[in-house]
């Protein structure tokens, strides 16, 4: 008879357990955009001279972008390269130069590519679709392979200008987060954003309240996009601090487009 009184206690016990059990769930992750001067990524394409040099590098085999994760087939890419080879001419001793027809075609491609969009999470260059109604007959439209050619072929990348984040710039709900959470936010940035920031010599002078030591600074490695920490801008783990800014042909080949000045 007494046993029948126990079942009603079960809901009460569960209620008390949930009431007094601390919430172990993590708070909201810090968004990478907290470091952006503008909230959205924008598309940046090399200058005309930069595009010219890039096409010479592509057609000569100096750089060979990977097609992984793109909508471009090997056959399409080889055809693309063959077309641009036909626009080249040998002019000793200068080497390969682009024909006038090639230069005009390059200008048209640049105009088209500048109408592409940026995927905000991944930094992938996207076709504009119907989001640019004022250009119904041209522009970055159609299959995704077109936007991928703007990225791989013409070096257009999604970038953001980063700021030197101050404590007053940070939402109060993140004030008690450790520096590791901010490092995670930095590494969640698209790789193109991190490499572009390194190219522009961006540094974060970590606010005193978050810093792990005096003069704590963070920036990105110019070839890998990985975090490099140091003191007053000097890396703590590199014997020659400036060595990360000294390109060699082997390491440079994968990111050659980042060394063309004049992104627009």
* Beta bridge partner(s), residue 36: 162
Answer whether residue 17 is part of any domain: no
Rounded Cα distance between 133 and 126, Å, is: 16
Minimum mean pLDDT range among 80-89, 129-138, 175-184:
129-138
3-state secondary structure of 126: strand
User: How confident is the prediction for the chain on average, in pLDDT?
Assistant: 79
Answer whether residue 132 is part of any domain: yes
Compute CA 11 distance to the chain's CA centroid, rounded to the nearest angstrom: 51
Model confidence at 18, pLDDT cuts 50, 70, 90, reads very low
Answer whether residue 263 is part of any domain: no
Q: How many domains does the chain have?
A: 2
Rounded Cα distance between 121 and 42, Å, is: 12
Rounded Cα distance between 120 and 192, Å, is: 11
Given this model, what pLDDT does residue 255 score? 46
Rounded Cα distance between 107 and 48, Å, is: 7
Q: In terms of pTM, does the model score above 0.95?
A: no
3-state secondary structure of 140: coil
Rounded Cα distance between 89 and 86, Å, is: 8
Which structural domain range is residue 208 located in? Answer: 32-37+169-244
Single out the residue in 108, 130, 159 at which a domain terminates.
159
The conformation of residue 206, written as its DSSP 8-state character, comes to -
Shared domain for 94 and 123, answered yes or no, is yes
Answer whether residue 84 is part of any domain: yes
40 pLDDT higher than 70 = yes
Shared domain for 79 and 140, answered yes or no, is yes
Minimum mean pLDDT range among 6-10, 65-69, 116-120, 201-205:
6-10
Phi, psi (degrees; rounded to nearest 5) at 214: -65, 135
pLDDT in tens, 226-261: 999 988 767 654 444 333 333 333 333 344 444 444
Shared domain for 110 and 55, answered yes or no, is yes
85 pLDDT higher than 60 = yes
| Among 168, 115, 173, 102, residue whose Cα is nearest residue 142 | 115
* Radius of gyration of the chain measured on its C-alpha atoms: 25
Shared domain for 78 and 146, answered yes or no, is yes
Shared domain for 127 and 194, answered yes or no, is no
pLDDT in tens, 162-214: 999 998 888 888 888 889 999 999 999 999 999 999 888 899 999 998 999 89
Q: What is the mean pLDDT of residues 41-54?
A: 89
Instruction: Judge contact between 88 and 98, C-beta under 8 A.
Output: yes
The conformation of residue 36, written as its DSSP 8-state character, comes to B
């Amino acid at each position: 008879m007494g046993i029948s009184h126990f079942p009603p206690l079960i809901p009460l016990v569960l209620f008390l357990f949930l009431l007094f059990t601390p919430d172990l769930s993590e708070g909201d992750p810090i968004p990478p955009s907290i470091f952006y001067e503008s909230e959205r990524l924008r598309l940046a394409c090399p200058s005309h001279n930069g595009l010219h040099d890039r096409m010479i590098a592509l057609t000569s085999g100096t750089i060979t972008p990977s097609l992984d994760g793109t909508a471009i087939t090997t056959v399409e890419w080889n055809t693309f390269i063959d077309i641009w080879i036909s626009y080249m001419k040998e002019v000793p001793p200068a080497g390969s130069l682009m024909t006038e027809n090639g230069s005009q075609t390059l200008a048209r491609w640049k105009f088209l590519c500048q109408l592409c969009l940026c995927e905000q999470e991944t930094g992938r260059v996207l076709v504009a679709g119907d989001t640019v109604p004022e250009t119904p007959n041209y522009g970055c439209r159609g299959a995704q392979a077109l936007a991928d050619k703007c990225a791989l072929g013409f070096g257009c990348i999604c970038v953001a200008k980063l700021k030197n984040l101050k404590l007053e710039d940070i939402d109060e709900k993140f004030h008690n987060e450790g520096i590791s959470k901010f490092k995670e936010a930095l590494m969640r940035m698209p790789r193109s954003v991190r490499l572009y920031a390194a190219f522009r010599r961006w540094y974060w002078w970590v606010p005193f309240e978050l810093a792990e030591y005096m003069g704590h600074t963070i920036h990105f490695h110019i070839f890998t996009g990985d975090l490099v920490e140091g003191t007053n801008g000097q890396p703590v783990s590199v014997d020659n601090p400036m060595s990360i800014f000294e390109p060699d042909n082997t390491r440079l080949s994968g990111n050659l487009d980042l060394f063309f000045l004049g992104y627009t």
